[in-house]
Structure 1
Amino acid sequence: MDKKLFELLKSVDTPTVCNAIEVAEGKRGFSQYTQGTVLCSDPEGGAVVGYAKTAQIAAREPSTNSPEQVKAMRMDYYRYMAEGPLPSVVVIEDLDYPHAVGAFWGEINTNVHKGFGMSGVLTNGVMRDLGDLPDNFPVIAGSVGPSHAFVHVESVGDPVSVFGLQVSDGDLIHADRHGAVVIPPNIIPILSDAISTLLRNEQIILKAAKQEGFNFEQFETAWAEFERVRT
């Protein structure tokens, strides 16, 4: 992903990216996106774009490891998150989902990860401190709660599953208040053109619909042209 594509992806929403991937593939049926409703700490904050850095956490019960092992795992986690190519996105699977109870994402962790240069968070877990989270670091989460409970790191860098989306370290992520998508590597070189094609095709309907006196006959004409060119 070059800087031009990064800026383009930052400027569009996740539904647009999902549709553009289908344009690039020339067919419907793409399914590498989250399923179900997400919560966003900053719904107007735009898209989170970057390469996935993955981990798993749990909080309902204390870790069965020794305090020394828990500390070592925690430091391994932060070291891993601080390293690697930018832009990057934290992707955390809470193993307690759908009954997650411990907020890993609050004022402290969001500021730490933003300080590492990361773009934001995708998790099926819990967030808190909603009035105190830093600007320009959206958290897309599964729930909101008041406590961190027994939250601890279970794995670092392994494949994870978040809202039905399978994510591996290094996957290119696009996420916003609608959910998230993994952009297939083979689509990245042609995604910019696919987005342009998608937006151009959508204007066939949108321009017609916004005209004074829009009626069924005008819709039918516009839709026929739209069907001719769209995926």
Structure 2
Amino acid sequence: MPDAHPADRIDDLSKEDLLKLIPDFMHRILVHYALWFTEVRHQMGMPQALAMLDSAFKKSLAIQMKRLGETLGFKVVDGLPAVLAGLDKTALLDLIDAMAKNWLANDGIWFQAVEFSRGMNDAKRCNDSCWAHFSPFEAWNIKRLLGLGEMPGLTGLARALNFRVYARLNTQSTFFEDDHTLVFRMNVCRVQAARASKGLADYPCKSAGLVEYAYFARGIDSRIATECIGCPPDAHPADWFCAWRFKITNPA
């Protein structure tokens, strides 16, 4: 079988092949970046890894934006392409929503890649484990964004839930049952609604939810305990797909 690319060096590739190589390089950068974080977390623990990630992300973003701007000829303002600063609020929200949809699409693509290769059980196992890592990371990110402090309590959690990626995709609500109890409901779930529109039963996401919400809540405030009120395959009313109760275990 002849070589797909007979060139011996990148410089010898055709323009068409160079165009294909650009997203390939981007892919390598993203995976390598993630592997660095994963290995630091493995060897030094999550708190140390997050502290180093904070520094690495700021430096990496600045370097990459500056270099890409110089190469492609776009202006960089405050570390970001100037075109973004020129967008109005509506356009920026549209962009954030598009990014959220891409995030969810990636999640589904990975799930199906494992499911079609190894079966549903392995896909769910990998999915649940992934949430055990992503939820604390997202909680850490949001705490930094909002300046919530170390133990912001249930009020902080209620705010933080509104800044998850999922908050741009689904319809959700929160309310306080009492001073030490917060209830969160996923009123409209994009994934489950899509299944319902096709006449399919709810996807049984409870195993992932038990990890996702508990780890996120503890990431916001280590005193918060999580209880599942209901989540598929549990039966649920028409006005929510899953619901969770959060309590402060040792209120000051």
Q: Same fold judged by TM-score > 0.5?
A: no
